Amino acid sequence: MPENKNGVVIVTYNRRELLTECLGRVFAQTVPFAAVFVVDNGSTDGTREYLRGLSDPRLRLLFQEENLGGAGGFYEGVKAAREGGFDWVLLIDDDAMIAPDYMQRLLEAAEERERREGRTVYAAAGSVWTNGRIDLSHRRRISVPLLFLERPVPEKEYKSGGAPVCDCATFCGLAVRGAAIREIGLPKKEYFLWYDDVEYCLRLRGRGGVTLAASAVLEHKTAASAEGMTISGLLDRIGWRQYYGYRNRYDTAKIHFGAASAFCVAAEYRMIAFCSRILMLKKENREKGRYDLAVIHDALRDGKRGALGKNAAYHP
């Protein structure tokens, strides 16, 4: 394997213990990073003091005065890394614990695909494990662009021994070539959180998508499971974060798949709103139902207007 000059961007907010473990994994890579960019999103739990006490010369600390969300944090980190002339830049949150050979496995998979297809690979991602099993939600394909339907890469493809390709990978272990970053630009900081990674990957879709290196493993420490979710359970899960998810998904559909796709996404949300109204027939569901309807209404309104950024009504 040829020598590479690689960087990593870590976004953190008030999770010092997770960050400590995350950095330990980063510094233990069999293919060392030349630079480690840590974006602290205005933490108040002693994270800044901890980071200032570290002496590794590879550290590049980017302290933000306020919480810019995951999207804003990755924007700042990738912006700083873009100027470093890196071959590859890995993107992770502080809860992503990469195996010691994570980057080595990614690079091997990318090089193997390049030899096989005779083309440059611009992005690669490993497999995400939670509680001892693969979390399929992190690596997906667009199955019906008009409806913006995303389907997880099937588990059998992780076990096939090859290097399948996906359209979308979360920033939980996504590596992007420095040349690609300089070509496609930075993540959309206006999203604040959610769908910034999907939108970014869709810019790479026409450049060969994301190579999935199943043997590159990371443990995701704080992932939530969606198993056994019912319609009622889905509505129960609607909170301030879903405002950004709904709004940004609408915007991503409009950018990458056109007005018809955005219309279909809006219709999907209206169906969720309809289900919420049905559940509101029970008195005990009315207060939560009203909140759900407000989230969906505001997300669609702002998505259609292109009113992005942090919304004062929807943040921690």
Q: For position 237, what pLDDT does the model report?
A: 74
Confidence band, pLDDT 50/70/90 cuts, at residue 289: confident
* 106, 185 Cβ separation under 8 angstroms: no
For the cut 60, the answer to whether the pLDDT of residue 295 exceeds it is: yes
Task: Record the tokens describing residue 210, joined without a space.
Answer: 């994301």
Fold exhibited by the domain 6-220: Spore Coat Polysaccharide Biosynthesis Protein SpsA; Chain A (3.90.550)
Residue 294 carries which side chain, given as an amino acid letter? A
> What separation in angstroms does the CA of 112 have from each of 84, 115, 245?
26, 5, 35
For the cut 50, the answer to whether the pLDDT of residue 46 exceeds it is: yes
- What are the strands of the beta sheet with 139-144, ordered from one edge? 149-152, 139-144, 168-169
Instruction: Give the integer Cα–Cα distance in Å for 236 and 228.
Output: 13
Q: For position 226, what pLDDT does the model report?
A: 45
* 219, 94 Cβ separation under 8 angstroms: no
Instruction: Give the integer Cα–Cα distance in Å for 262 and 243.
Output: 16
Q: In sequence order, which ranges of the chain are alpha helices (DSSP H)?
A: 16-27, 47-52, 69-82, 102-117, 155-158, 178-184, 196-204, 231-237, 240-257, 259-279, 286-305
- Report CA dihedral (35, 36, 39, 45) to the nearest 10 degrees: -140
Average model confidence (pLDDT) across the chain? 92
Chain segment 101-152, per-residue pLDDT in tens: 999 999 999 999 999 999 999 999 999 999 999 999 999 999 999 999 999 9
Q: How many CB atoms lie within 10 A of CB 54?
A: 14
> What separation in angstroms does the CA of 275 have from each of 137, 254, 268, 269?
24, 25, 11, 10
Task: Record the tokens describing residue 149, joined without a space.
Answer: 């339907």
Chain segment 187-223, per-residue pLDDT in tens: 999 999 999 999 999 999 988 999 999 999 999 997 5
Q: Which of 60-64, 159-163, 224-228, 266-270 has the lowest mean pLDDT?
A: 224-228
Instruction: Give the integer Cα–Cα distance in Å for 246 and 269.
Output: 8
Residue-wise burial string across 61-76, b where 16 or more C-beta atoms lie within 10 A, e elsewhere: ebebeebbbbbbbbbb
Q: For position 278, what pLDDT does the model report?
A: 87
Residue with the bigger pLDDT between 1 and 228: it is: 1
- What is the domain partition of the chain in residue ranges? 6-220, 231-305
For the cut 50, the answer to whether the pLDDT of residue 229 exceeds it is: no
- Report CA dihedral (221, 189, 166, 123) to the nearest 10 degrees: -90
SS3 188: coil
